């Protein structure tokens, strides 16, 4: 099968993060078996999802890992003009479907080249590393990386195939999702001296979260490689209260910190927590039962730093006609590979502007560019 045919099969698996990806994994395993490729599942705790590792070529150290996530975001409430889980060619040079660019297109390009890689006398291996639950906090990849490094010879480099229009990306921000819950004391709204409004306190803390960004800019904590040049803090969801005439006992909000590689998540969270401690002390003077609790909703996804990547970057640029490297604001599994000492860059077909959108698409020319990259990679790693 060519890349388009494989993409058609992959899109047909509705691997939304809330659901299992095992049907897709089973399909890929069968495809790899047809070509005599060794592979290993790395399952989730409940066994409902799995990562998949596969090695094409010799069982030696070195070589390149091609990493992609198998899960996709939901389509609920989005105005799709075609079935999101059927690959659709409308004759406009684009292939439509959920996950086409993010990031089943990259996986299809790699799988399409497997038969030729399997026949090449490769000097070092090409690894496939397919993960689950990237879209909900990069949950699956760490145990896959752990298994790769514990049970197999160490690879030399990693290419994470997020959509970059086939331009190498050498840095991205880290990301942490958080929930803060403010507990006050309810009272009749005419008796404001008796209660403590959780909503009012939460509002002060939300404002503080935005103020932290202004502080970072004023301190010169910026990196011009990013289109948003500072670490960003953003509140995306808030809820609380029961009625307009009741001082709210509880208010919670969900927010995120996306930190530059040069910043520390813990330090940025500490600025917000310091204000929360001050507000909590004020609340407790009037209501001892009051409090503010912040919890992480995911393990921090580490940033990818432009560091220790000269060889893999040179390889990508060699295969891509010296395209310039860049940085992106979104988070990926690349930082998790780099954290374990593996030189890592991001490079894949498609535009991040299409990711998560209704009528998500991948330009056919981008799919072809991804396929050409895979073919060139195999030639580059074959024995001379």
Q: Given 29, 71, 102, 280, which residue is catalytic?
A: 71
Query: For 382, which DSSP code?
Result: B
239 by DSSP, 3-state: which? Answer: strand
Nearest CA-CA partner of 278 in 205, 178, 192? 205
CB-based burial of residue 92 (10 Å sphere; 0-12 exposed, 13-18 middle, 19+ buried)?
exposed
Number of C-beta neighbours around residue 18 at 10 A:
11
Query: What is the per-residue DSSP string for 44-97?
Result: -TTSS-EEEEEEES-SSS--EEEEEE--B---TT---SS-TTS-EE-SSSEEES
Q: Given 8, 102, 134, 263, which residue is catalytic?
A: 134
Residue 263 annotated in active site: no
Residue 134 annotated in active site: yes
β-partners of residue 128 are: 54, 66
β-sheet with 250-259: strand ranges across: 232-240, 250-259, 174-183, 291-296
β-partners of residue 122 are: 382
CA distance 156 to 314: 13
Residue bearing tokens 């030399």: 156
Would you please indicate which residues are annotated as catalytic (active-site) residues?
Answer: 71, 134
């Amino acid at each position: 099968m060519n890349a388009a045919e494989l993409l058609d099969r992959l899109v047909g698996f509705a691997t939304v993060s809330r659901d299992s990806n095992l049907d897709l994994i089973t399909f890929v395993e069968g495809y790899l078996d047809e070509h005599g490729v060794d592979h290993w599942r790395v399952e989730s705790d409940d066994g409902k999802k799995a990562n998949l590792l596969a090695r094409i070529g010799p069982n030696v150290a070195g070589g390149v890992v091609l990493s992609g996530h198998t899960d996709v975001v939901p389509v609920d409430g989005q105005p799709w003009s075609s079935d999101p889980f059927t690959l659709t060619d409308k004759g406009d040079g684009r292939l439509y479907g959920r996950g086409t660019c993010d990031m089943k297109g990259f996986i299809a390009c790699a799988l399409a080249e497997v038969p030729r890689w399997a026949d090449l006398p490769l000097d070092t291996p090409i690894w496939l590393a397919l993960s689950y639950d990237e879209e909900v906090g990069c949950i699956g990849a760490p145990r896959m990386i752990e298994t790769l490094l514990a049970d197999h010879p160490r690879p030399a480099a990693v290419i994470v195939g997020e959509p970059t229009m086939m331009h190498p990306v050498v840095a991205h921000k880290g990301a942490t999702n958080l929930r803060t819950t403010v507990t006050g004391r309810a009272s009749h709204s005419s008796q404001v001296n008796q209660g403590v409004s959780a909503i009012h306190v939460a509002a002060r803390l939300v404002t503080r979260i935005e103020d932290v960004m202004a502080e970072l800019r004023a301190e010169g904590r910026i990196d011009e490689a990013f289109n948003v040049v500072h670490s960003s803090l953003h509140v995306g969801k808030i809820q609380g209260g029961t009625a307009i005439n009741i001082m709210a006992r509880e208010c919670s909000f969900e927010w995120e910190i996306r930190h530059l590689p040069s910043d520390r998540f813990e330090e940025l969270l500490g600025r917000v927590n310091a204000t929360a401690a001050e507000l909590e002390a004020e609340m407790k003077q009037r209501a001892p039962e009051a409090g503010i609790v912040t919890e992480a909703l995911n393990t921090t996804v580490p940033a990818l730093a432009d560091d220790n990547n000269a060889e893999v970057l040179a390889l990508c640029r060699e295969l891509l006609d010296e395209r310039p490297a860049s940085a992106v604001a979104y988070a990926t599994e690349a930082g998790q590979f780099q954290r374990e000492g593996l030189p890592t860059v991001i490079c894949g077909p498609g535009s991040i502007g299409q990711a998560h959108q209704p009528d998500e698409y991948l330009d056919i020319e981008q799919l072809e560019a991804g396929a050409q990259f895979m073919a060139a990679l195999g030639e580059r790693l074959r024995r001379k």
